[in-house]
Amino acid sequence: MSKRPGGTKKRLKRGLWSPEEDEKLMNHIAKYGNGCWSSIPKIAGLERCGKSCRLRWINYLRPDLKRGAFSQEEEDLIIHLHSILGNKWSQIAAQLPGRTDNEVKNFWNSFIKKKLRQRGIDPATHKPYATAASAPPAATPVSRSAVFSEAELILSSPVGGQHMPPLVSAESYVYSRGSMDGAGGVVGGCSDDVSLSSLSGYNNNNQTADFAGYLDADALHGGVIPSVSSSSTLNSMAGVSPGGAANTNATTDELCCNNNPSNSGSGFESSTTQSSSNHHLPWLELGSISSCTEDASGAGAGADHYGAALDELKWSDYVFDGGYQQYHQQGQCIYGDSKAAADAAAAQFDAHGLGINWCLN
DNA sequence: AACTATTCCAACCGCAACAAA
DNA sequence: ATTTGTTGCGGTTGGAATAGT
């Protein structure tokens, strides 16, 4: 795929990566890590710019990538996080193990956007479109905004053990509660229990404590959360040769999984090293929601998949208690079942191996 | 079967932030 | 303090794949 005419002095290859190029890059990173992207092409014998190599690795070659369709839980989480963070794809992706910002962005643009519009929700604002059937045009109160400033997030947290009146619009929870009426209007309340404080991690109730471990509070408050694409994390991610650990110079100790929570430092790590097995998504749980949808008249009952999602395995269960570990063990990767070697590598891959430094630098 | 329209996603671009010189 | 190089992020695009006619 040739996106743009080159124009640079040195002719660099563009477009889709060939399997040979992939192999070169993977072999290089397996050997040396992913330190200096600008020098990688030369050393690895690739006629690509470093930027392109970096992108290829992050978006496609990383052994920890979870390919395939987004689960309902992931979709819910993306919608919810987008209502808070906006187009901060890297931050959103940081909360979705195995997903890249590019993947999340594409999923949003190609699927969720459309879906929300069909439901009468403006994907940009997460508010229902003003329609004759619902609300008067341009009459949406400010307090109903689902786009939250940092201050709003903080203000919505409990102070002195008491919940402040939530500034969170009901819409932002509608997605997971299945209480949106056909025209996109909001039905049902329960706002007392679902202030964004639970998201922000400032709430001290149990629910929030659990969730705080899931969704890094820093992520929602402008703190630094290294995304999975950050170089520091990637260095740890490169702790195993994608092409097969046997081909690397790494010692057994370097390759072995390190699940010690004390090593968790970044948002990614911390979100995947929770010692507690009691993680859950507050909005999903709060949404046991059938009890919360006072007015189910327009909710479309079971037709709404968001409500149905509540009956499914909790995403956090998948992530922390089995599925994600299993995913690690099974080594899902871009090459799927046909790449036994990559599977084997991914089985040993561990994002927590912070002590590993493959970089030559 | 051939053509057109649409969808999806990998990859590119430009910019900003940061670090090192 | 300034320059230069590198990295990361978000927006955009082009083309392959798919659906529709």
Q: Which residue in A24, A49, A26, A27 sits closest to A39, CA to CA?
A: A49
Phi, psi of A128 (to 5 degrees): -65, 140
β-pair partners for A162: A159
Backbone phi, then psi, for A222, in 5-degree steps? 75, 5
CA of A231 to C1' of B19 (A): 14
- Considering only A86-100, A139-153, A168-182, A209-223, which range has the smallest mean pLDDT? A139-153
Together in a domain, A106 and A29: no
What CA–CA distance (Å, rounded) separates A150 from A86? 12
Span CA (A203) to C1' (C13), Å: 43
Looking at the fold, whether A157 and A36 belong to one and the same domain comes out as no
CATH number of the domain enclosing A32: 1.10.10.60
- The Å distance, CA of A90 to C1' of B12, is 18
Q: What is the pLDDT of residue A239?
A: 37
**Which chain A residues in 60-89 sit with Cβ < 7 A of strand C?**
87-89
Report strand pairing: A127-128 vs A121-122.
antiparallel
**Residues β-bridged to residue A108:** none
The predicted-structure confidence for A253-296, as pLDDT tens digits, reads as follows: 333 333 333 333 333 333 333 333 333 333 333 333 333 333 33
Q: CA of A276 and C1' of C1: distance in angstroms?
A: 50
* Residues A58-117: tens digit of each pLDDT: 888 888 888 788 888 888 889 888 888 888 898 898 888 889 888 898 898 888 888 888
One domain, residues A57 and A72? no
For the segment A114-135, the average pLDDT, to the nearest whole number, is 72
Strand blocks (E) in chain A: 121-122, 127-128
Asked whether residue A137's C-beta has any atom of DNA/RNA strand B within 7 A, the reply is no
| Co-location of A29 and A124 in the same domain | no
Which bases on strand C have an atom closer than 7 Å to a protein beta carbon?
Answer: 5-16
CA atom of A252 to C1′ atom of B8, Å: 41
Q: Which of A14, A37, A61 is the last residue of a domain?
A: A61
Domain with A45 in it: 1-61
- Residue A106 exposure: Cα atoms within 13 Å on the Cβ side: 9
A180 and A51 together in one domain = no
Share of chain A above pLDDT 90, in %: 0
Q: In this complex, which residue's CA is closest to the C1' atom of nucleotide C6?
A: A38
Q: Is the CB of A151 under 7 A from strand B?
A: no
Say how many domains are in chain A: 2
Tell whether A120 and A9 lie within a shared domain. no
Strand B footprint nucleotides (protein C-beta < 7 Å): 7-14
Regarding whether A55 and A72 lie in a shared domain, the answer is: no
> Exposure string (b/e) for A127-140, b if CB count within 10 Å is 16 or more?
bbbbeeebbeeeeb
User: pLDDT tens, A209-231?
Assistant: 333 334 444 434 433 333 443 33
Residues A5, A76 share a domain: no
Single residue among A17, A45, A61 that ends a domain in this structure: A61
Residues 6+ apart with CB under 8 A from A181: A134, A187, A297, A298, A299, A300
Indicate the pTM of the whole model: 0.52
Final residue belonging to a domain, choices A29, A61, A93: A61
CB-strand contact A114/B, under 7 Å: yes
The phi, psi pair for A45, rounded to 5°, reads 75, 40
Q: Are A44 and A139 in the same domain?
A: no
C1' of B3 to CA of A18 (Å): 30
**Nearest nucleotide from residue A12 CA, by C1' atom:** B12
Per residue in A339-360, pLDDT (tens digit) is 333 333 333 333 333 323 333 3
A42 Cβ within 7 A of any nucleic strand B atom = no
Do A175 and A267 share a domain, yes or no? yes
Q: Which nucleotide is nearest to A55 (CA to C1')?
A: B11
Residues A56 and A69 in one domain: no
Q: Which of A's residues 95-154 have CB atoms within 7 A of nucleic strand C?
A: 101-102, 105-106, 109
Burial class (CB in 10 A: 0-12, 13-18, 19+), A173: buried
Q: How far apart are CA A92 and CA A206, in angstroms?
A: 23
Is the domain of A122 the same as that of A54?
no
Separation of alpha carbons A357 and A138, rounded Å: 55
* Distance in Å, residue A80 CA to nucleotide C15 C1': 32
Residue nearest to nucleotide B10 (CA to C1'): A16
- Find which nucleotide's C1' atom is closest to A39's CA: C6
